[in-house]
A and B are shown apart, each in its own frame.
Chain A
Amino acid sequence: MNAPAITQPFWLLAELTYRCPLHCVFCYNPTNYANIQNELTTQEWIRVMTEARALGAAQLGFSGGEPMLRDDLEILVREARQLGFYTNLITSGVGLNATRIEALKVAGLDHIQLSFQDSTKEMNDFLSSTKTFELKKNVADLIKKHDYPMVMNVVLHRYNLPHVDKIIDMALELGAEYLELANTQYYGWAMENRDQLLPTQAQLIKAEEVVNLYRAKIGKRCKILFVVPDYFEERPKACMNGWGSIFLDIAPDGAALPCHNARQLPGLDIPNIRDHSIREIWYESQAFNFFRGDQWMQEPCRSCDEKTKDFGGCRCQAFLLTGNAAAADPVCSKSPEHHIVKEIVMRAQQTSLPAAHLGVAEHPIIFRTDMNSRKLNIE
């Protein structure tokens, strides 16, 4: 039996808060976020960053929730930068005003990724280019003024896929240099809303055609990435590049997670940075060693010649769809439970598309709100 060699962490994701002014239906945050209180203090975050950096982590993402809601963000960025991290801010832009972006620049922030919000009203605003557009336009101008590349991320689903041309037009109008069109991944709130959000194959094909037309037309002006939802694939994603391999996520309450959604997996003893050093967490904790290497794998992964490529896919997806976190990710066509994914996709093809707006489908869509969070998670 070979114990897997433990590599150094590379990515530290600092989920500073689960609080967020938006109510995105595709959010991957846990649906019980409203019960997760007790955010880490500035000093605790500094300790996390210092210890993770000492272990070799070089990339740092400030995320959430909306990280701009932390008024110590500038302090954290400055500390991170002094430690030598490459600092990335992942924000909806709400709260990013002239004063704060100036302070973040001075603090040494390296990079901003502006993500697009989305809910009924917001999406309609967005599609009709009114209020939301103005907000984004202001933020985009600030980003450019401070010599950051304009990187935009828009999450796609069945309601906005037919409008992908408008989305690209708007990104171009905002001066985006990179546009990531990422199809929804089904975790957290997105999982609750999956049957609403999952597109049809025809929609995806059409959208990809549109994207390719734009790519040919705009050339180097803006680089467009189009990420297909993995439910439509035959092989799973190499989730987190392997469990406990490069990715360390610290949740707002100090929970240390091998992936954003690990909290929901059964049998894991999730360590908290309030009780352990990052070194102990990364190298010794039960949770980070649970799916490390390939000893945990079952067939067909165990004997699969692709197991070093995709590591059996996503543990959370395996659990959510098959009930067994050690099973092959059923996205894989080699999985004996691949039919589960096929059936979900098939069902999506048959559901007719509501005319134009969210919320008029048979099952109401569930917005990410504190009230819904509590309702979904009554003990």
Chain B
Amino acid sequence: MIDAIPDTPTESLPEYPRLNRLFRLQWEDAQQAYVLLYPEGMVKLNLSAAEILKRCDGTRTVTTIVTELEQAFNTTGLRDQIEGMLRAAFEKDWIQ
């Protein structure tokens, strides 16, 4: 009954994703993790989220990001995982 799955209106990802100007990505020694800082708050990132977001600088397409990460980690088939993470980040306004 695949038809029964509701049609979720997924906003398409920006072509050249970049970090929202409110957020800053940096390494926090005290957390031993990458974090996103924003007005009055902080999100701790896992390593893969950090690697993806680091590349959201407005000059790379999603495809470029996927290719770079697959090369960096010497693997393939990362697209779904990366797009999923980017969609979550987009919904949270971390990226524009």
Would you call B9 an interface residue if the criterion is a C-beta within 8 Å of the partner chain's C-beta atoms?
no
Give chain A nearest CB distance to B50 CB in angstroms: 15
B residues in contact with A59, CB < 8 Å: 37, 40-42
The interface stretch among B18-26, B64-72, B83-91 is B18-26
Question: Which among A10, A58, A84, A151 is the interface contact of B39 at CB below 8 angstroms?
Answer: A151
Seed contacts A88-B39, A110-B39, A111-B22; 12 additional CB < 8 Å A-B pairs: A10-B42, A11-B40, A56-B31, A58-B28, A84-B26, A86-B24, A86-B38, A88-B40, A111-B39, A113-B39, A149-B21, A151-B39
Q: Which chain A residues in 1-58 approach chain B with CB under 8 Å?
A: 8, 10-11, 55-56, 58
**Cβ–Cβ contact A58 & B35, under 8 A:** yes
A residues in contact with B28, CB < 8 Å: 56, 58, 84
Complexed CA–CA distance, A88 and B30 (Å): 20
Closest residue of B by beta carbon distance from A149: B22
Binding site for B on A (CB under 8 A): 8, 10-11, 55-56, 58-59, 61, 84, 86, 88, 110-111, 113, 147, 149, 151
Q: Which 8 A-B pairs have the closest CB atoms?
A: A56-B30, A86-B37, A111-B39, A58-B42, A8-B30, A88-B39, A149-B22, A58-B37
Complexed CA–CA distance, A84 and B30 (Å): 12
Q: Which of A59, A113, A151: most chain B CB closer than 10 A?
A: A59
B residues in contact with A113, CB < 8 Å: 39
How big is chain B's contact interface, by range? 10 to 19
Binding site for A on B (CB under 8 A): 21-22, 24, 26, 28, 30-31, 35, 37-42
**Cβ–Cβ contact A55 & B30, under 8 A:** yes
B residues in contact with A86, CB < 8 Å: 24, 37-39, 42
Complexed CA–CA distance, A56 and B39 (Å): 17
Question: Which among A10, A110, A151 is the interface contact of B24 at CB below 8 angstroms?
Answer: A110
A residues in contact with B41, CB < 8 Å: 59
A-B contacts at CB below 8 angstroms, number: 36
Closest residue of A by beta carbon distance from B30: A56
Complexed CA–CA distance, A56 and B38 (Å): 16
B residues in contact with A111, CB < 8 Å: 22, 39
Closest residue of A by beta carbon distance from B20: A149
Complexed CA–CA distance, A59 and B24 (Å): 12
Closest residue of A by beta carbon distance from B40: A59
A residues in contact with B40, CB < 8 Å: 11, 59, 61, 88
Complexed CA–CA distance, A151 and B39 (Å): 10
Closest residue of A by beta carbon distance from B28: A58
B residues in contact with A149, CB < 8 Å: 21-22
Q: List 20 A-B contacts (CB under 8 A).
A: A10-B42, A55-B30, A56-B30, A58-B30, A58-B35, A58-B42, A59-B41, A84-B26, A86-B37, A86-B38, A86-B39, A88-B39, A88-B40, A110-B24, A110-B39, A111-B39, A147-B21, A149-B21, A149-B22, A151-B39
Complexed CA–CA distance, A86 and B41 (Å): 9
A residues in contact with B35, CB < 8 Å: 58
Closest residue of A by beta carbon distance from B21: A147
Q: Which of A55, A84, A147: most chain B CB closer than 10 A?
A: A84
Complexed CA–CA distance, A371 and B26 (Å): 46
Complexed CA–CA distance, A111 and B23 (Å): 10
Closest residue of B by beta carbon distance from A55: B30
B residues in contact with A88, CB < 8 Å: 39-40
Complexed CA–CA distance, A56 and B30 (Å): 5
Complexed CA–CA distance, A8 and B39 (Å): 19
Complexed CA–CA distance, A11 and B39 (Å): 11
A residues in contact with B42, CB < 8 Å: 10, 58-59, 86
Complexed CA–CA distance, A86 and B39 (Å): 7
A residues in contact with B37, CB < 8 Å: 58-59, 86, 110
A residues in contact with B21, CB < 8 Å: 147, 149
B residues in contact with A58, CB < 8 Å: 28, 30, 35, 37, 42
Give chain A nearest CB distance to B70 CB in angstroms: 31
Complexed CA–CA distance, A147 and B30 (Å): 30
Give chain B nearest CB distance to A346 CB in angstroms: 34
Complexed CA–CA distance, A88 and B38 (Å): 10
Give chain A nearest CB distance to B93 CB in angstroms: 10
Complexed CA–CA distance, A86 and B42 (Å): 9
